[in-house]
Amino acid sequence: MSERLFGLGFDAHPREVGRDLWLGGVHFEGEPGLSGHSDADVVCHAIGDGLLGAAGMGDLGDYFPDTDQRWAGIPGLELLAKVVELLAAEGIRPVSCDATVIAERPKLGAARTDMASRISEVLGVEPGRVSVKATRPEGLGLAGDGAGCLALMVAER
């Protein structure tokens, strides 16, 4: 049996009126977006960080710094695909991931299935190996007052 390694990923961005909201590669029409150098997709960013952590390869900022204009506005799924390429170059492939979005809104509902499907395609794993959940922080903190959105994830490689 091969060695099983796990990584924890986290990302948070404040809201920014006038930007589109992208979570897990899914666009949420009519919702204020998140501020960031890229598209600020906290789900994809948390997954990328967790995968790099599981591989012992640092974090997103090591490869895609916000000071580098090449990454300005990059879609979360595209960034995640680049992480998968970095892992593949080291002979590493993702096995599964479990992500939780923490925000008062939007309500993710049926979009969770679409998010998991898009993420599993980029990771190259079966759809059942990716889970996307959501929780409301009930008015507490950055995400609870609606000023931002957070995501946590655990990945296995």
CA atoms within 13 A on the CB side of 92: 22
* pLDDT score recorded for residue 1: 42
| Residue whose C-alpha is closest to residue 38's, from 79, 82, 83, 86 | 79
Q: Which segment of 7-11, 75-79, 150-154 scores lowest on mean pLDDT?
A: 150-154
Is it the case that residue 138 has pLDDT exceeding 90?
A: no
CA atoms within 13 A on the CB side of 115: 26
Domain-located, residue 1: no
Between residues 58 and 143, the one the model is more confident about: 58
Q: CB neighbours of 31 closer than 8 A, spacing ≥ 6?
A: 21, 105, 106
User: Does the predicted model carry a pTM greater than 0.85?
Assistant: yes
CATH at residue 48? 3.30.1330.50
pLDDT in tens, 74-105: 999 999 999 999 999 999 999 999 999 999 88
Give me the number of domains the chain comprises. 1
Question: Which band of pLDDT confidence, cut at 50, 70 and 90, is reported for residue 157?
Answer: low
Domain-located, residue 149: yes
Contact 63, 43 (CB under 8 A): no
Domain-located, residue 52: yes
Domain-located, residue 99: yes
In DSSP terms, 148 is beta-bridged to 14
Instruction: For residue 87, count other CB atoms closer than 10 A to its CB.
Output: 20
Give me the long-range contacts of 112-117 (CB less than 8 A, separation at least 24). Answer: 112/24, 114/24, 114/26, 115/23, 115/24, 115/25, 115/26, 115/43, 116/24
* pLDDT score recorded for residue 153: 86
Dihedral (CA of 36, 10, 130, 143) sign: negative
* pLDDT score recorded for residue 118: 98
Percent of the chain with pLDDT over 70: 94
Q: Rounded mean pLDDT of 24-41? A: 95
Question: Which band of pLDDT confidence, cut at 50, 70 and 90, is reported for residue 143?
Answer: low
Domain that holds residue 121: 6-156
pLDDT in tens, 11-24: 999 999 999 999 99
